[in-house]
Amino acid sequence: MSRITKVFNQLHIDKRVALIPFITAGDPQPNITVPLMHTMVESGADLIELGIPFSDPMADGPIIQRASERALAHGITLHDCIKMVQEFRIQNTVTPVVLMGYLNPIESMGYEIFANSAAESGVDGVLIVDAPPEESSELLTSLRNQFIDPIYLLAPTSTEERIQRICNAASGFVYYVSIKGVTGASHLDIAAVENRLHTIRKFTRLPLGVGFGIHDSATAARLAQIADAVIVGSAIVKRIEELQTQPAAILTAIAKFLDSLRFALNTVTKPNPITILL
């Protein structure tokens, strides 16, 4: 059983909703990433999404685009991201880590080499935005051979046929993009999200995480009533950007923000049931 599955099983028992924060590896400087990962866990993160810096992050809004630019300015590569996970694992062998990024760096490394290196470092899942399952069978095979969960995105515009195809290929959890647009957008319609999650649940027993457009604890708490996980990225990265020359202040600010999110999620008394995955 993967670390991701174990965490969601425990969340089911505890009647809690997962908090999944996103940061970009190496932003705003390489030596803060691992301490920041530990800080996020201490502040209530159940899983961590670690972004692989890329020069053309097409699904990301300007906030996360600038984070990639800052990380790339420090020369951060896919190899560095994997090493950061390996360093994180020295102290933390429990919290799942999902790498999120784009296909080009992985193709350059080679699918099998990437999967082997990621597994050895302690990566639990991989979400590649521009690698749909029907066009990435070789990558999918490499990941599954190393027991790494392939995480896939579903959009508000996904057809039922598409939903079924994605759910059949995914493991760990399914990531629902709550808005039509890039990360950081703000026009979030909770009722529409609830309707879409209801449709998706007809095709999978996997936990459903919701991301894009979540800026505050109030929105997180509302989503916690209908989702199995709340994924927060741009709101975290924005705080990092504002304090990019003050590493200590970044750790304090992110801890405070995640504490508020965790508290809000914990106030939800009747989260949507999560199916235990054996």
Q: Is residue 131 part of a domain?
A: yes
Report pLDDT digits (tens) over 22-46: 999 999 999 999 999 999 999 999 9
Q: Hey, what are 199's tokens?
A: 């449709």
Q: Is residue 221 part of a domain?
A: yes
Residue 38: which domain range?
A: 3-266
Please name the helix (run of DSSP H) or strand (run of DSSP E) that holds residue 169, with its range, or none: helix 160-169
CATH classification of the domain holding 14: 3.20.20.70
- 213 pLDDT band, cuts 50/70/90, is confident
Q: Is 50 exceeded by the pLDDT of residue 51?
A: yes
**Spatial distance between the Cα atoms of 267 and 270, rounded to a whole number of angstroms:** 9
Predicted confidence at residue 60, as pLDDT, reads 86
Q: Is residue 205 part of a domain?
A: yes
Q: Is residue 47 part of a domain?
A: yes
Predicted confidence at residue 180, as pLDDT, reads 65
Report pLDDT digits (tens) over 243-277: 999 999 999 999 999 999 999 999 986 544 444 44
C-alpha distance from residue 42 to each of 1, 45, 121, 231 (Å): 24, 7, 21, 17
Report pLDDT digits (tens) over 55-107: 988 888 899 999 999 999 999 999 999 999 999 999 999 999 999 999 999 99
Report pLDDT digits (tens) over 183-210: 544 567 889 999 999 999 999 999 999 9
Predicted confidence at residue 110, as pLDDT, reads 97
Report pLDDT digits (tens) over 141-170: 999 999 999 999 999 999 999 999 999 999
Active site residues: 49, 60
Q: Is 60 exceeded by the pLDDT of residue 181?
A: no
Q: pTM of the entire structure?
A: 0.94
Specify the number of domains making up the chain.
Answer: 1
CB proximity list for 250: less than 8 A, separation 6 or greater? 28, 32, 36, 239, 240, 243, 244
Q: Hey, what are 138's tokens?
A: 């070789």
Predicted confidence at residue 117, as pLDDT, reads 98
Q: Is 50 exceeded by the pLDDT of residue 219?
A: yes
Q: Is residue 274 part of a domain?
A: no
Tell the residue number behind the tokens 């703000």, with chain if given: 186
62 phi, psi to nearest 5 deg: -60, -30
CB proximity list for 202: less than 8 A, separation 6 or greater? none
Q: Is residue 273 part of a domain?
A: no
Q: Is residue 276 part of a domain?
A: no
Q: Is 50 exceeded by the pLDDT of residue 229?
A: yes
Predicted confidence at residue 7, as pLDDT, reads 97
Q: Is residue 210 part of a domain?
A: yes
